[in-house]
Amino acid sequence: MQEDRKLAVLRAIVEDYVATDEPVGSKALVERHGLGVSPATVRNDMAALEDEGYIAQPHTSAGRVPTDKGYRLFVDRLTTVKPMSAAERRAVSTFLDGAVDLDDVVARSVRLLSQLTRQVAVVQYPTLSRSTVRHVELIALSPGRLMVVLILSSGRVEQLVVELGAEVLTDERLAELRGTLGRAAIGKIISEAVTGLRALQPTDPPTTAVVDALVEAMVDHRSDERIVVGGAANLARYGDHFDSAVRPLLEALEEHVVLLKLLGEATGDGSVMVRIGAEGPYEELSSTSVVATGYGPGDEAVATLGIVGPTRMDYPGSMAAVRAVARYVSRVLDDA
């Protein structure tokens, strides 16, 4: 019973401190949360939590604030992810369904995440190397020209014009080539598709030209480390308490490699990763937390998205928003 009450006290301290940015005292906890015990009992619980490193007393304040260890326990044992309301789900769906292409999906996701969480949003472009080939189409533009359309599971679409010179492909030959390319590449990750296409070792010029164009498009990894960041202005609302962390975080926002490491490895199982304070890979960002998850079609994670902000954040709300946006983006890519 005492352990349950201590956890309830910790939950209340975290929730109040996130909401008010003020150290939380025992009297306020009793009044706001109906804990059913006296302020003296709550003070004893707070003393125990402080001894165990879950809360701390800042300077001469009578109240307490959560430590990184306290936030971690809150996230692991006390957090229930806030379900989004029907109106919020409709708004998210409508906003993302309006995207016209992959660039628009990423841009809208960043804007939506930063608005929902009031934190800095970071969205990685789908990583080409993790993508699979969804479709290869050949379209005759003229007797000597073909358009090759490559569609990846990441939502990326490549349209390549291949010059065949004096060669003329009949409809039957075009269908045969389309089938050959499909068997070699469709359903395979990029590296396997490239290997399959190269294994064809075509001897006729039209097939050689098409295979070379597809391989060149597949090995182009320009999108692998592209990310988009939005909502940096949200940091201003944290005021003096976050000043010491604002500069290194703003500098980190300029370094995409740093941000990708902060986001961590993408997972396609729907889980949301939370890194709190010093748990992250960079000591200079020990006042920040990261909430991130992978996204992609089906159970395939082709990239990561998430938010970065001070450790004093609304973890349940941020986790719900990150998970919801990732699910909707995954659905958009799945339907592409």
Q: Which tokens hold the place of 275?
A: 């890194």
Taking the C-alpha atoms of residue 207 and residue 209, their distance in angstroms, rounded to an integer, is 5
- Predicted pLDDT of residue 242: 61
Give the start-to-end residue ranges of the domains of the chain.
Answer: 2-78, 86-127+224-335, 129-218
Q: Could you say which of 1.20.1250.20, 3.30.450.40, 3.30.565.10, 3.30.70.920 is the CATH number of the domain covering 86-127+224-335?
A: 3.30.450.40
Q: What pLDDT band is residue 222 in, cutting at 50, 70 and 90?
A: very low
Query: pLDDT of 275-325, one tens digit each?
Result: 998 898 888 888 889 999 998 877 777 789 999 988 999 999 999 999 999
Q: What is the mean pLDDT of the chain?
A: 85
CA neighbours closer than 13 Å in the CB half-sphere of residue 115: 11
For 42, the token pair is 């709550």
Phi, psi torsion values for 294, nearest 5 degrees: -90, 160
> Residue 7 and residue 75: Cα distance in Å, rounded?
12
Which pLDDT value is given to residue 220? Answer: 62
pLDDT computed for residue 65 by the predictor: 94
pLDDT of residue 268: 64
Whether residue 51 is predicted with pLDDT greater than 90 in this model: the reply is yes
The rounded distance, in Å, linking the Cα atoms of 17 and 86 is: 28
pLDDT of 192 > 50? The answer is yes
Please tell me what DSSP assigns to residue 225. Answer: T
Separation of alpha carbons 327 and 96, rounded Å: 11
The span from the CA of 57 to the CA of 309, in Å, is: 22
The structure tokens listed for 99 are 């995207």
Q: Check: CB of residue 218 under 8 Å from CB of residue 190.
A: yes
Residue 16 C-beta-side C-alpha neighbours within 13 Å: 22
DSSP string of 188-223?
SBHHHHHHHHHTT---SHHHHHHHHHHHHHHT--TT
Q: Residue 111: its pLDDT value, please?
A: 93
The mean per-residue pLDDT over the stretch 159-183 comes to 87
Per CATH, the number for 2-78 is 1.10.10.10
232-238: long-range contacts (C-beta < 8 A, 24 or more apart)?
Answer: 232/120, 234/114, 234/118, 234/119, 234/120, 234/309, 235/120, 235/309, 237/118, 238/21, 238/310, 238/312
pLDDT of residue 245: 65
Of 265, 270, 259, 272, residue with least CA distance to 308? 259
Instruction: Look up the pTM and report it.
Output: 0.76
Question: Distance of alpha carbon 131 from its chain centroid, rounded?
Answer: 16
The pLDDT assigned to 48 comes to 94
Token couple for 103: 């660039």
Q: What percentage of the chain exceeds 70 in pLDDT?
A: 92
Query: In this prediction, what percent of the chain has a pLDDT beyond 90?
Result: 35
Tell me, what's the pLDDT at 241? Answer: 58
Both tokens of 272, joined, read: 């949301």
Which span out of 37-41, 88-92, 156-160, 312-316 was modeled with the highest average pLDDT?
312-316
Which CATH number applies to 129-218? Answer: 3.30.390.60
